[in-house]
């Protein structure tokens, strides 16, 4: 019985030793091996044999492209506007030893470095420049952090600005400013319209006055011509004037009698005498 237990323990020990001594690294990863706490080598994908209980796999690092989401943050521009921005970085481990020993956590280090650099770049810009210069910000951000991440055994393949937008309070202020600007433009437009309407009205009145004056001149000219014609046809000097006055008098009475709502026509008492005098003088 005791022999069986010893055999079982030995088999278990051999299996454990074999497991510790034989390692298979999958494709897309690199393992860092330490011997008694000191860096020994980096295992590439494939089968490897280690010294059991002496060599240990301390780090397993992926060599695939890493997608690091740069957290959203508020940035104050040069003209004191508050913007909210975030980005995304694509990095690849090219030196596993530097990646694990050069910095405590290279992923966190890259994200923090990108955050601070992005804040510094946009802080030197005006609001309008920051909102319209996304490609320029991206290029400057990549340039500013590429050398630093290279010291950690990383290659910065690309960095993209996901969003740049005003903060909620800034958006509200911009909306109020835009509304005020629209109201100002509407007021100016209304004032211009009123001005043009006043000018057109004045021009219309002036044109109407000119036409009235021309009509009066023409009427006066016509009256003068008619007087001349009547005077030429009547030898007596008084008869032309009396004739024209009588004609206008009769015309006025006709208009008065034909007016809407008119039921009574008032005639002067000396109408007959005036006519008799006119006709008598003409007979004489």
pLDDT of residue 203: 84
pLDDT of residue 116: 93
On whether the CB atoms of residues 86 and 72 are closer than 8 A, the answer is yes
pLDDT of residue 206: 84
pLDDT of residue 283: 46
What is the reported pTM?
0.57
Tell how far CA 213 is from the center of its chain: 56
pLDDT of residue 27: 94
Q: What is the 3-state secondary structure (H, E, C) of the chain?
A: CHHHHHHHHHHHHHHHHHHHHEEEECCCEEEEEEECCEEEEEECCEEEECCCCCEEEEEEEECCCEEEEEEEEEEECCCCCEEEEEEEEEEEECCHHHHHHCCCCHHHHHHHHHHHHHHHHHHCCCHHHHHHCHHHHHHHHHHHHHHHHHHCCEEEEEEEEEEEEECHHHHHHHHHHHHHHHHHHHHHHHHHHHHHHHHHHHHHHHHHHHHHHHHHHHHHHHHHHHHHHHHHHCCCCHHHHHHHHHHHHHHHHHHHHCCCCCCCCCCCCCHHHHHHHHHHHHHC
pLDDT of residue 284: 46
pLDDT by residue, tens only, the chain of 284 residues: 667 777 777 778 777 777 778 889 999 999 999 998 899 999 999 999 888 888 889 999 999 999 999 999 988 888 888 889 999 999 999 999 999 998 889 999 999 999 999 999 999 998 888 888 889 999 999 999 999 999 999 999 999 998 888 877 766 766 677 677 777 887 888 888 888 888 888 888 888 888 888 887 777 787 677 667 666 665 555 555 565 666 666 666 666 666 666 555 555 555 555 555 555 544 44
């Amino acid at each position: 019985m005791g022999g069986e237990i010893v055999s079982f323990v030995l088999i278990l020990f051999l299996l454990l030793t074999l497991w510790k001594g034989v390692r298979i690294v999958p494709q897309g990863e690199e393992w860092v091996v330490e011997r008694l706490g000191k860096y020994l080598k980096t295992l590439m994908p494939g089968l490897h044999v280690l010294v059991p209980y002496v060599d240990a796999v301390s780090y397993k690092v992926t060599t695939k492209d890493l997608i690091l989401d740069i957290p959203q943050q508020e940035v104050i521009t040069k003209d004191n506007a508050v913007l909210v921005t975030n980005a995304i970085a694509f990095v690849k481990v090219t030196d596993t030893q530097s990646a694990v020993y050069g910095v405590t956590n290279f992923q966190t280090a890259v994200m923090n470095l990108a955050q601070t650099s992005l804040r510094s770049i946009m802080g030197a810009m005006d609001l309008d420049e920051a909102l319209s210069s996304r490609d320029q910000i991206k290029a400057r951000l990549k340039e500013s952090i590429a050398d630093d991440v290279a010291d950690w055994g990383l290659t910065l393949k690309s960095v993209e600005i996901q969003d740049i937008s005003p903060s909620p309070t800034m958006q509200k202020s911009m909306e109020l400013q835009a509304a005020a600007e629209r109201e100002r433009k509407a007021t100016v437009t209304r004032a211009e319209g009123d001005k043009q309407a006043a000018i057109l009205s004045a021009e219309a009145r002036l044109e109407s006055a000119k036409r009235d004056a021309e009509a009066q001149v023409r009427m006066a000219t016509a009256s003068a011509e008619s007087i001349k014609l009547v005077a030429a046809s009547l030898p007596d000097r008084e008869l032309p004037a009396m004739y024209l006055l009588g004609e206008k008098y009769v015309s006025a009475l006709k208009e008065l009698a034909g007016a809407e709502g008119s039921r009574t026509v008032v005639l002067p008492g000396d109408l007959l005498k005036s006519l008799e005098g006119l006709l008598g003088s003409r007979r004489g």
